[in-house]
Amino acid sequence: EAGVAQSPRYKIIEKRQSVAFWCNPISGHATLYWYQQILGQGPKLLIQFQNNGVVDDSQLPKDRFSAERLKGVDSTLKIQPAKLEDSAVYLCASSSQGDLSYEQYFGPGTRLTVT
């Protein structure tokens, strides 16, 4: 079974530029998550999709971040314009629908550096 795929693995941009990250979840997983992990901290949920609908985006900075999940499969997270504080690892995860115990499968992450 293929895992969660993410690209690119690394990205360096200047502040005020835009950037996009791509995620392909495990086949058949209805739920997709984007997390932001700042150095020295645990992951923080940015947005959660159930199929192609948004379940939770309460911590997504909507003035600069956007995300979509077309056709309920892969997803794109965009930042425009980027700020220095956006430097972080962006993790994508997926899971099948379940209860409290459902396991999230994480991708390798995209490390973003904003200069």
Partner 1 sequence: AQKITQTQPGMFVQEKEAVTLDCTYDTSDPSYGLFWYKQPSSGEMIFLIYQGSYDQQNATEGRYSLNFQKARKSANLVISASQLGDSAMYFCAMRGITGGFKTIFGAGTRLFVKA
The binder of partner 1 chosen from 21, 54, 101, 113 (CB under 8 A): 101
Q: How many Cβ atoms sit within 10 Å of the Cβ of residue 101?
A: 5
Interaction between residue 89 and partner 1 (CB under 8 A):
yes
Residue 75, SS3 per DSSP: strand
Q: Which is nearer to partner 1, 27 or 101 (CB)?
A: 101
SS3 percent helix, strand, coil of the chain, rounded to 5, is: 5, 50, 45
Return the range that interacts with partner 1 (CB under 8 A); candidates 16-24, 38-46, 61-69, 70-78. 38-46
User: What tokens does 57 get?
Assistant: 């985006």
Residues of 85-96 as b/e, b for ≥16 C-beta within 10 angstroms?
ebbbbbbbbbbe
Name the minimum Å distance from CB 115 to partner 1. Answer: 20
The binder of partner 1 chosen from 46, 60, 67, 91 (CB under 8 A): 91
Interface with partner 1 (CB under 8 A): 40-45, 48, 55-56, 89, 91, 93, 100-101, 103-109, 111
